[in-house]
Structure 1
Amino acid sequence: MTVVITTFSADDIESHLGALGALLHACVHDGASIGFVLPYAHAEAEGFWTGKVLPGVRDGTRIMLVASKDDRIAGTVQLGCDTMPNQPHRADVNKLMVHPGFRRQGIAQLLMKELEVRARELGRSLMTLDTRTGDNAEPLYTALGYRTVGVIPGFARDPMGGDRLDPTTIMYKTL
Structure 2
Amino acid sequence: MITVEHLTHLSPNSQNALTKLLGRCIDSGASLGFYKAAESNMLTKYWQSINRELENKLRLLYILYDNNEVQATVQLALCHKQNGRHRAEVEKLLVQPSAHRKGYATKLMAYVESHALKQGIQLLVLDTQSGDKAELFYQASGYTKVGQIPNYVSDQEGRFHSTSYYYKHLKL
- TM-score class, shorter: over 0.9
Deviation of the 1:83 alpha carbon? 3.2
SS of equivalent residue, structure 1 residue 86: helix
CA offsets 1:83-124 (integer angstroms, 9 cap, x no match): 322111111101101011111101111111111111101111
User: Which residue is 2:19 aligned to?
Assistant: 21
2:82 match: 85
Distance (Å, rounded) in 2 between the aligned partners of 1:123 and 1:147: 21
1:65-104 correspondence runs (5 A): 65-104=62-101
8 Å contact 1:62–1:79 — kept in the other structure? yes
Paired residue for 1:128, among 125, 130, 133?
125
Flag structure 2 segments of 5+ consecutive residues without an equivalent: none
| Distance in 2, Cα, partners of 1:135 & 1:13 | 32
Distance in 2 separating the partners of 1:18 and 1:89: 32
- Read off the aligned partner of 2:114 and give its amino acid letter: V
Q: TM-score, normalised by structure 1?
A: 0.92
**Structure 2 CA distance for aligned equivalents of residues 114 and 129 of structure 1:** 17
Q: Which runs of 5+ in 1 are unaligned?
A: none
**Once the 2 structures are TM-superposed, how far is the Cα of residue 36 of structure 1 from its aligned partner?**
0.7
Higher relative contact order (CA 8 A, sep 6+): 1
- The match for 1:8 is 7
Structure-2 separation of matches of 1:166 and 1:100: 22
Map Cα deviations across residues 7-56 of structure 1 (whole Å, 9 max, x no partner). 1221x4433221111001111111111111134112221111002x1111
Matched with 2:167 is 172
TM-score (norm 2): 0.93
Task: Tell me, in whole angstroms, the C-alpha distance in 1 between the residues paired with 2:90 and 2:30.
Answer: 16
The answer on whether the counterparts of 2:63 and 2:70 sit within 8 Å (CA) in structure 1 is yes
Q: Provide the residue aligned with 2:34 in structure 1.
A: 36
What is the aligned length?
Answer: 170
Paired with 1:57 and 1:45, the residues of 2 have a C-alpha distance of: 17
Q: Is the 8 A contact 1:21 1:43 kept in 2?
A: no
Q: Report if aligned partners of 1:130, 1:170 keep a CA contact under 8 Å in 2.
A: yes
Kept in 2, the 8 Å contact 1:93–1:127? The answer is yes
Contact 2:24-2:97 at 8 Å conserved across structures: yes
The percent identity for this pair of structures is 32
Structure 1 distance, partners of 2:38, 2:2, is 28
**Partner of residue 148, structure 1:** 145
Residue identity matched to 2:5: T
Is 1:111 aligned to 2:108, yes or no?
yes
- What secondary structure is seen at the aligned counterpart in 1 of 2:108? helix
